[in-house]
A and B are shown apart, each in its own frame.
Chain A
Amino acid sequence: MLSIKNLHASVDDKEILKGLNLEVKAGEVHAIMGPNGSGKSTLGNVLAGREAYEVTGGEVLLEGKDLLELSPEDRAREGVFLAFQYPVEIPGVSNINFLKTALNEIRAYKGLPPLEAREFLNRVKEKQKLVEFDAKLANRSLNEGFSGGEKKRNEIFQLAMLEPKLGILDETDSGLDIDALRIVARGVNQLRSQNNAFIVITHYQRLLEYIVPDFVHVLYKGRIVRSGTKELALELEEKGYDWIKDTVDAEGAA
């Protein structure tokens, strides 16, 4: 589904991603962990197409298509969805209108007619239930005055509505209370299928107890330096990052 080869990216001429490789197949869930500032959100932003992040080398293919060529909206229409670490507030844009516009633009891109009002509302209801997202919030301005947890839950509600091929969850678990974490995880698990894939960026093993990953990667200094199965997350939880940092830095020095 997603193939990242030797990806280099910089912000303000500062190189953040320094040769990142990652293969994600349909049906898989990959967790990405790593110390603060290692480049996890940068990867998400580069995949989603944020302008400030300049790709200086490497390639990214989504089902064989060159993702880096596409505008942010076309990436979304091709099925990339980034659940933001810090979702923005947009006063005056209603959550529901925004979703309707997004959904219909994605459908138009695929040559599908706009959803009928009834169908749309049914879908809203169904997905609201799935992620237990308060209907009152859905009708408010986009994220305006939402609590940190409500914003995160709104990201997952949008994900459920848009049904992307590749969902990238950037620390969706941070700021969620224990119940909300379970609800969000259950939502994601129900959306998992053989036709989509998820990249889950997190600092905590706890989320991975609910959304069980097929692979766990450690990102450090702009590269994936360790990959393993879910046991790697347990090991990190126990030992922290120092042992990995030390070996990687020693390799670098050598």
Chain B
Amino acid sequence: MPKERPEHQIKIMITQVSDSLYSQLIKTYGENLPSAEPRSLDEIRKQAFERFKRVGFPTVKHEDWKYTNVQPLVNQHYELDVEPSFAAIDLNNAGIPRLDAYRVVLVDGKYHAGLSDDVSDVPGLSIMPIDQAFERLCFAKYFAQFADKTDNPFVALNTAAFTSGLFIEVGKNTQLSKPVHIIHVSAARQPVFNQVRNLYVMSAFAEAEIVESFITDDAAERNLNNLVTEIMVREQAKLQHYYLQTATSQSSYLNHTEIYQEKHSLYNNYNCTFPGPAFVRNNINVRLGDSEVESHLYGITLTAGNQLVDNHTIVDHLKPHCESYEWYKNITQDTSTAVFNGKIFVRTDAQKTNAFQQNNNMLIGEKSAVYTKPQLEIFADDVKCSHGCTIGQFDNDALFYLQARGISEAQARILLVHAFAFDVTSRFANATVREYVEHLVEEGL
């Protein structure tokens, strides 16, 4: 429906050089990283910290951060590790009507037992604060094995300094009857820079749905949240994974998700961002590590105000006979900015790969901007890959058509945006979440 527009909008970027938070981090953690049993973790933290120390925060000169200037964010003062304020947390903003789920609440990354469901009697399901999982076999096996191989400095910092986060293991052959709903609440009453680390392990033949909501408590000060989630999807396992970003302008997010898939596994990610959080950078990297793997990445980003939402994805085909399918839709209002960068690698071994990528953008705000970049690197010769991207304005002829039938302008806009998002929303495996997302789209217009 959007009309093609040949060139992307260009916005002027101001590069600032700042090292205040950087030096604060070096001073705080240089000789004093968090430490616990087993000691092997200490060594991992130390090396990660050295990596962070060497490169520091990225600037817009780094290709991966070209349109996403973190300097203003890291140029502010934050507390580094605050005691969570568990008082009077209001979860209403995270409620998904009619979703029956195991609820897990993290307040500034810290597990809130009082607000979380007790799942100890659910067979095959383990959910716990990450620091209680350090001694587990699969923690040692998978922790920092995937995300830390990328050159994202925020991952290095997270590995070095995290003290909170979540560990989930879905046991072999376990098929969860209800989704796990993780609610991330930013609530600290002082400015805070959180390092939150998650590890989810889907054992062989396990099946689960994980829905993650991000909200800001009304009383929260500004907060910067650096989350890293590593996900292992073992042979024949299936994971449906939803991100529902509905925080407010007090909150900013660096959210790195690294997925590794084994043979015959399925991983679907549905990444939804709505008006609210000032700054969101998602890195979602899927490694298709064995044959017969299937991965789907869906994205729906609706921005408003002066928001910046940047989705960077990597789909990495390592082995033959795999299929990936990626579809991201951005709708930008006011003076907001949306960035999409989708890399697909098809490695030498990955013959008979089937990879699809599509990114469509609808600019509603005349002063909003979209930057989109597909990147395909194909080293195998017998593959099917396609990608496409469109940037278009709101279709005023369609708007008039609907109005001419008696539909109000506001309602007509909603219909048209739903229609634009349909390719993505219609793929949602969970109808309750889909309905909720469609409702959030309406609210966000």
Residue of B whose beta carbon sits closest to that of A76: B406
Q: Give the chain B neighbours of A7 by CB distance below 8 A.
A: none
B415 touches A98 (CB 8 A): yes
A71 touches B405 (CB 8 A): no
State whether the Cβ of B422 lies closer than 8 Å to any Cβ in chain A: yes
Given the known interface contacts A90-B398, A90-B419, A91-B419, the answer about A77 and B406 at a Cβ–Cβ threshold of 8 Å is yes
Quick one: CB contact mask for A75-98 with B, threshold 8 Å, 1 for yes?
111000110100110111100011
Give the docked Cα–Cα distance between A93 and B1 (Å). Answer: 11
A98 touches B398 (CB 8 A): no
Give the docked Cα–Cα distance between A169 and B420 (Å). Answer: 29
Size of the A side of the interface (Cβ < 8 Å), in residues, is 31
Q: Give the secondary structure class of A's interface.
A: helix
B405 touches A158 (CB 8 A): yes
Q: Give the chain B neighbours of A60 by CB distance below 8 A.
A: none
B411 touches A72 (CB 8 A): no
Q: Give the chain B neighbours of A88 by CB distance below 8 A.
A: 395, 397-398, 401
Quick one: CB contact mask for B384-412 with A, threshold 8 Å, 1 for yes?
00000000000111101111111111011
Please tell me which one of the listed residues A49, A91, A92 contacts residue B404 in the complex, with CB atoms under 8 A apart. Answer: A49
> Could you tell me the distance in whole angstroms from the C-beta of B23 to the nearest C-beta in chain A?
51
Give the docked Cα–Cα distance between A93 and B419 (Å). Answer: 5
Quick one: CB contact mask for A117-128 with B, threshold 8 Å, 1 for yes?
000000000000
Q: Give the chain A neighbours of B418 by CB distance below 8 A.
A: 92-93
Please tell me which one of the listed residues A49, A77, A101 contacts residue B415 in the complex, with CB atoms under 8 A apart. Answer: A101
B422 touches A92 (CB 8 A): yes
State whether the Cβ of A102 lies closer than 8 Å to any Cβ in chain B: yes
Residues 26-60 (chain A) with a chain B CB within 8 angstroms:
48-51
> Could you tell me the distance in whole angstroms from the C-beta of A71 to the nearest C-beta in chain B?
7
Q: Give the chain B neighbours of A99 by CB distance below 8 A.
A: 405
Q: Give the chain A neighbours of B416 by CB distance below 8 A.
A: 90, 93
> Could you tell me the distance in whole angstroms from the C-beta of B296 to the nearest C-beta in chain A?
19
Q: Give the chain B neighbours of A106 by CB distance below 8 A.
A: 406
Residue of A whose beta carbon sits closest to that of B417: A92
B401 touches A87 (CB 8 A): yes
Given the known interface contacts A92-B418, A92-B419, A93-B419, the answer about A98 and B406 at a Cβ–Cβ threshold of 8 Å is no
Give the docked Cα–Cα distance between A90 and B418 (Å). Answer: 11
A90 touches B409 (CB 8 A): no
State whether the Cβ of A146 lies closer than 8 Å to any Cβ in chain B: no
A72 touches B415 (CB 8 A): no
Which of B395, B401, B412, B420 has the most A CB atoms < 10 Å from its CB? B401
Q: Give the chain B neighbours of A91 by CB distance below 8 A.
A: 1, 419, 422
B1 touches A73 (CB 8 A): no
A102 touches B1 (CB 8 A): no
Please tell me which one of the listed residues B397, B403, B419, B420 contacts residue A71 in the complex, with CB atoms under 8 A apart. Answer: B403
State whether the Cβ of A132 lies closer than 8 Å to any Cβ in chain B: no
Q: Give the chain B neighbours of A77 by CB distance below 8 A.
A: 406
Residue of A whose beta carbon sits closest to that of B405: A102
Q: Give the chain B neighbours of A233 by CB distance below 8 A.
A: none
> Could you tell me the distance in whole angstroms from the C-beta of A87 to the nearest C-beta in chain B?
7
Residues 98-115 (chain A) with a chain B CB within 8 angstroms:
98-99, 101-103, 105-106, 109
Residue of B whose beta carbon sits closest to that of A105: B406
B411 touches A105 (CB 8 A): yes
Which of A76, A92, A101 has the most B CB atoms < 10 Å from its CB? A92
Give the docked Cα–Cα distance between A76 and B118 (Å). Answer: 56
B420 touches A92 (CB 8 A): yes
Q: Give the chain A neighbours of B415 by CB distance below 8 A.
A: 90, 93, 97-98, 101
State whether the Cβ of A200 lies closer than 8 Å to any Cβ in chain B: no
Residues 137-164 (chain A) with a chain B CB within 8 angstroms:
141, 158, 162
Give the docked Cα–Cα distance between A49 and B401 (Å). Answer: 11
Residue of A whose beta carbon sits closest to that of B426: A92
Give the docked Cα–Cα distance between A77 and B408 (Å). Answer: 10
Q: Give the chain B neighbours of A71 by CB distance below 8 A.
A: 403, 409
Give the docked Cα–Cα distance between A109 and B403 (Å). Answer: 14
Give the docked Cα–Cα distance between A105 and B404 (Å). Answer: 12
Give the docked Cα–Cα distance between A101 and B412 (Å). Answer: 9
> Could you tell me the distance in whole angstroms from the C-beta of A200 to the nearest C-beta in chain B?
18
Give the docked Cα–Cα distance between A49 and B411 (Å). Answer: 17
> Could you tell me the distance in whole angstroms from the C-beta of B394 to the nearest C-beta in chain A?
12
B406 touches A102 (CB 8 A): yes
Q: Give the chain B neighbours of A162 by CB distance below 8 A.
A: 405-406
Q: Give the chain A neighbours of B411 by CB distance below 8 A.
A: 101, 105
Residue of B whose beta carbon sits closest to that of A77: B406
Residues 413-437 (chain B) with a chain A CB within 8 angstroms:
415-416, 418-423
> Could you tell me the distance in whole angstroms from the C-beta of B286 to the nearest C-beta in chain A?
27
A-B contact sample (12 more), CB < 8 A, given A50-B400, A90-B401: A49-B404, A73-B404, A73-B408, A76-B404, A88-B401, A90-B398, A93-B416, A93-B419, A102-B406, A106-B406, A109-B406, A141-B419
| 24 A-B residue pairings within 8 Å (CB atoms) | A48-B400, A49-B403, A50-B400, A50-B404, A72-B400, A73-B404, A73-B407, A77-B406, A88-B397, A90-B1, A90-B402, A90-B415, A91-B419, A91-B422, A92-B420, A92-B421, A93-B418, A98-B415, A101-B407, A102-B406, A103-B406, A105-B406, A109-B406, A141-B419
Nearest 9 pairs of A and B residues by beta carbon: A92-B419, A76-B406, A92-B422, A72-B403, A102-B405, A106-B406, A73-B403, A93-B419, A102-B406
